[in-house]
A and B are shown apart, each in its own frame.
Chain A
Amino acid sequence: MFGRIAQLLIKEFLQLKRDKSARFRLLIPPILQMLLFGYAATFEVFNVATAILDQDHTQESRALVAAFVHSSRFEVTTVAATRKEIENAVEVSNAQVAIVVPPGFSELLLKGQSAPIQVLVDGTNSNTALIALGYIGEIANSFGQAHALDLAQRSGRALGQPLVHVDVARRYWYNPNLNSRWFFVPGVIGTLVLVTIVNLTAFAIVREREVGTLEQLLVTPIRPVEFIIGKTLPFFFIGLVEVSIVAGVGMLWFKIPFVGNPFLLLAGTCLFLLGTLSIGLLISTICTTQQQAFASNFFVLNPMFILSGFSFPISSMPHVLQWLTLLDPLRYYLIIIRGTFLKGVGIDYLWPQMLALATIGLILLTLSVMRFRKSLD
């Protein structure tokens, strides 16, 4: 038994060694995608195109405009002279945000009353819009506070109004600067490994079926289980190497902290790979050509990605979809990988995820082995 599995392993690695493009495909795209995701996949908002219309033309209004200009969150692309111009800028998407300082702004401010400004936001990308709106509020608030403080100091509390000091002490755990890259990069590790391993496994077996070598093997004394082990074990090792490489890029290049137990992550990764290998095997049993496998992979992997909680919060999904996420191995792996990377939580917290991964993996494995045997007839 072990002799035959060993022969298959030797063969797989010989083929891999000879396939120069495979080595490239295994190494370069995950690293490139890691870099791409690390930079591109972010919820943070910088350099929002902004149009400004100052109808007040006072020292105060200019100071407020300057506060926006100097913020890295906003980039003033249009300084409008009329109301029409500013609406136009938003309409043609020259600006995503428009800020209008109305006449009489400084007058109200100097009276110590609340001075409104008008903000127009292009809500097409609701996420960016909301975040930008938050920043505008923040900048306007701090401007108002600074001004009130200044006024109070100069007038020596002459106005007799106590300064309301609102101090919201916010402290974010695990990711103190709310750096969304910290959230995404560990997730990318799981996603990349899922896609790579499911594809590799499905294609490798379907290729043998397509070329006819599978049939040639089936007339040898090899058992289906030996074939499956010999065929999937290489991808298990490749999966572990991929996780290490991609995690290495995340930690060394993006400086994502790893505060947890690496062995816990290793254990979680092994369980996750069990599931992904089984999915690949399952796909290979329903496909006779590599084109079919390609189409099936696409059909399976995209929903797994969307339901995993990688970027869309599971708690915001409709209930039916929330239940569906429970079947998604990536969901559990993301919790494990984020938990070990950022929170450093232990097995006492992650065991339900481990158990879920192991259960899904074993069910999928049993199913795929049964289907594989059947597909031979």
Chain B
Amino acid sequence: MMAAQSAPAIVVDKLGKRFGTFSALDAVSFDVRRGEIMGFLGPNGAGKSTLIRVLCGLLRPSSGRAVVSGIDITQDPEAVRKRIGYMSQKFSLYSDLSVVENLRFFGGIYGVCPGAINERIRFAVDMAGLQGRETSLVSTLAGGWKQRLALGCAILHKPDVLFLDEPTSGVDPSSRRRFWTLIHELSAGGVSVLVSTHYMDEAEYCMRIAMMAAGRLVALGTPRELRQQSIGGELLELECANIGAAMDLVAKIPGVHDVAVFGDALHLLVDDGAETARAACALLAEHGLPGASARQIAPSMEDMFVHLVRTARAQGAAAGT
């Protein structure tokens, strides 16, 4: 029992999924610990949804293997399904049933025993903050409530692992924040959560982040680790007049790999922050743009993401030739 508790909740080993000649997942490997919240980031079409759908047993993998809650997903998908909860991108409860009717239905389908079902429904209603709306039809609920109800339906049977496929898309910011609080509560209770999102700020809520591009895993680590390592250099923020002209100038400085506009400043990806900062200010002053200031900053998730996707594309293009 102890061994099972310390074993990873999800083990994915060189998992691949092809649709015809298109490779949606390409040898993806990672582990998720018990109680861990693992976020998957990546552009549309990167393979996040495919990964979740394979792990839930909705799609059969083409290669590799995956173990969820100690069970191989291809050997006993039904046993896996008893231990997982799933929330899809699209809201998919019965809108012509009431809150409690939906919960009772999914509870029954998951085989929650009749003695415990009322207590579980109570729990889900409290968690979702749906007290007083138990008999409301789901079609009358606002987006944030629907989403929390969907989460409630997914945890009725006390799953070990939760798969959330872009659960917060189309939900207002305060509801999103509340939703993430719930996820952390579940995680504290020992539930492992694998969540995909394309909101960069949401990545900060995750304990570890996996970045995907073109079906491959391109980075994996804590948000802090990723910010430090994966960007491939140091990041400078350059504030100056006439950003457009400055951008062309600084791009030519040796040791500058990338220049991007962020608000009213430029972000420079460089080898040596301190040296390039001096060189850039001097160069701009020389060209009649004095008063520039450059300072080294910690890269945001967005910086990191843009960089990773670019690198992955470059690699993909190189591999393609």
Contacts and interface: CB of A to CB of B under 8 A. Distances in A.
B14 interface: no
A59 interface: no
B108 interface: yes
Count chain B CB atoms within 10 A of each CB in A4, A7, A19, A221 and give the residue with the most.
A221
Contacts, number: 67
A11 B97 contact: yes
Contact of B78 (A15, A18, A213, A223): A223
Interface string B100-116: 01000110111100000
Contacts of B137: 18
A377 B86 CA distance: 17
Given A3-B108, A7-B108, A11-B105, A219 B96 contact: no
Interface string A156-198: 0000000000000000000000000000000000000000000
A7 B91 CA distance: 21
A211 B110 contact: no
Interface residues of B, number: 29
Given A212-B92, A216-B93, A3 B84 contact: no
Interface string A201-222: 0000000000111011111111
Contacts of A220: 81, 106, 109-110
Interface stretch (B55-63, B169-177, B253-261): B55-63
A221 B81 CA distance: 5
A14 interface: yes
A318 to B, nearest CB: 42
Interface string B117-143: 000000000000000000001000000
A100 to B, nearest CB: 68
A36 interface: no
A136 B93 CA distance: 67
B148 to A, nearest CB: 16
B92 A216 contact: yes
Contacts of B153: 216
Given A14-B101, A18-B137, A221-B78, 19 more contacts: A3-B111, A4-B108, A7-B109, A10-B105, A10-B108, A11-B105, A14-B97, A15-B97, A19-B96, A211-B95, A213-B94, A215-B88, A216-B153, A217-B109, A219-B86, A220-B109, A221-B81, A221-B82, A223-B78
A18 B101 CA distance: 12
B36 to A, nearest CB: 20
A212 B153 CA distance: 15
In terms of DSSP, what is the predominant structure of the interface of chain B? loop
Please give me the 8 A-B residue pairs with the lowest Cβ-Cβ distance, nearest first. Answer: A212-B92, A7-B108, A219-B86, A216-B92, A212-B90, A220-B109, A219-B56, A221-B81
A221 B58 contact: no
Interface of B: 56-60, 78, 81-82, 84, 86, 88, 90-97, 101, 105-106, 108-111, 137, 153, 163
Contacts of A211: 92, 95
A221 B109 contact: yes
A218 B106 CA distance: 11
B110 A221 contact: yes
A219 B78 contact: no
Nearest to A18: B96
A376 to B, nearest CB: 8
